Structure 1
Amino acid sequence: MKRSGPLYTLLGGLLLALFMLSLNATTGEGNSSYGQDAPGAASPAPTSAKPTASKPPKDSPSPTPTKSPSKRPPGKSEYAGRTADDAAAVSLSIRDDKAIAYYCNGRDAESWLKGKVEDDGSMRLTGKHGAKLEGTLAGNAVRGKVEIDEQPRDFTAARAKKPSGLYRATTEVRGAEIDGGWIVLPDGRQVGILKEDGTPKKAPRLDPKSLTAPFDGGELTAAPVVP
């Protein structure tokens, strides 16, 4: 019976060894909870990297629309000419975007008109009794149509240099209201009407240097018309 002790001890050791071998075969070293950190662990299959979407370039700022250059000259400019039928004269005084025009036949018909000049050089001026002028400033001339007393007439007024241009005198003489208008054309001719208490007649000649005109034993003093 004393010899059976070592035998049992050897048998128990064998059984323990078999148990441990069986346990290792069941769990496997590759199932370590540390994954690739465990010695001999299989490297994980490489995952295909997702292509990084390239960041779209920032929209370039939209170009600021360039404004068309104005066709009207800056500052003050004068224009003078005649209607196509040579029945009357037309003169315009323009300062920036404002305009005054004068239509005159030199006898008994006249009209003062005013309005705005657009950037493209177009204008629509109006006056009393339905008078109107539609024109376009292009280059060194204003061309268009003027309608006075329901009679439309085409006209061309060229750029004027002093003393050519538009002049006016308003005053009171011996209790009478005096209103005179003169158009001095580029060739030196003058067309004008002088009204005395509203009654029109041909205006006396205006001295281009002194801007005076004789009237009733004295003289009238005119001035350039400014819008």
Structure 2
Amino acid sequence: MKRPGPLITLLAGLLLGLFMLSLNVTTGTKTVSSTPKKESPPATASPAPTKTTASPGPSPSRVPAPDASYAGRTDDDSSAVAVTVRDRKAIAYFCDGHSKESWLKGDVKDDGSMRLTGRHGDELNGTLQQGRRIHGSADVGGGHYAFTADEARKPSGLYRATATVRGARLDGGWIVLPGGRQVGVVTRGKDASAAPAIAPETGAVTVDGQQLTARPATP
């Protein structure tokens, strides 16, 4: 009886080959990592640069009219004009030293211009220049008068006195020009005449035998 050695050896080799083949297939499978792969955040567009608009510079400030008094003559040298400015308001007096006179008042704008009005349609228009003088014109009693009034320092300036004398209302106005010359008119009711001189240092004046005090006129 023959031994089955070669056949058994062949079968054993065949089984071993199948086993090894099966082992290679099993171990050859790639292992997939269970750790999730980090995803890069989506790219975002950079914000557009903000446009900066330069703010406009401050408008040049205007200097308000200074508190001061001004006095001068009309260009034809027939009359005098005085203006007093206080807190952007002005009072003015026009007189010829005989019988024509007018009191006017109004506001002074930041640019130094002024339009002052009085009775009977009288009007004064002027412009303050560098706080030193006023150039303008006055329309009084039907006449038109150009004038220049320079800054007046005491005792120069504008003075006024009001009172009741012998039952009649008295209103006096005086312009003391730089240099000391005086021009004034006193009105008694409806009658007007040249005013007597005042003492500028005190304002003392005698009118129709009555002792009065003329004081600086202010708006």
Q: If the length of structure 1 is used for normalisation, what is the TM-score?
A: 0.78
1:148 aligned partner: 140
Give the aligned residue type for 1:122: S
TM-aligned CA deviation for residue 63 of structure 1:
6.4
1:78 aligned partner: 69
TM-aligned CA deviation for residue 11 of structure 1:
4.2
TM-aligned CA deviation for residue 62 of structure 1:
3.4
2:181 aligned partner: 189
TM-aligned CA deviation for residue 69 of structure 1:
4.3
User: Does 2:85 correspond to 1:94?
Assistant: yes
**Does the CA-based 8 Å contact 1:90-1:157 persist in structure 2?**
yes
1:209 aligned partner: 201
SS at 1:10's partner residue?
A: helix
2:214 aligned partner: 222
Higher alpha-carbon deviation: 166-175 or 61-70: 61-70
- Pairing partner for 2:103 from 102, 108, 112: 112
Gaps of 5+ in 1: 38-43
Distance in 1 separating the partners of 2:120 and 2:214: 25
Distance in 2 separating the partners of 1:63 and 1:110: 49
Give the aligned residue type for 2:159: Y
- Pairing partner for 1:19 from 16, 21, 25: 25
TM-aligned CA deviation for residue 146 of structure 1:
1.0
User: Does 2:46 correspond to 1:68?
Assistant: no
SS at 1:195's partner residue?
A: strand
TM-aligned CA deviation for residue 56 of structure 1:
5.1
Give the aligned residue type for 1:72: A
**Does the CA-based 8 Å contact 1:70-1:119 persist in structure 2?**
yes
Distance in 2 separating the partners of 1:164 and 1:72: 19
1:40 aligned partner: none
**Does the CA-based 8 Å contact 1:71-1:137 persist in structure 2?**
no
1:158 aligned partner: 150
Q: Could you say what the CA RMSD is over the residues aligned between the two structures, in angstroms? A: 3.4
Distance in 1 separating the partners of 2:209 and 2:125: 40
Render the CA deviation track for 1:12-48: whole Å, top value 9, x for unaligned: 3144145347x64xxx67x7565879xxxxxx9x9xx
Render the CA deviation track for 1:55-102: whole Å, top value 9, x for unaligned: 659x587365153341622xx311100111112110001113111100
Q: If the length of structure 2 is used for normalisation, what is the TM-score?
A: 0.81
Gaps of 5+ in 2: none
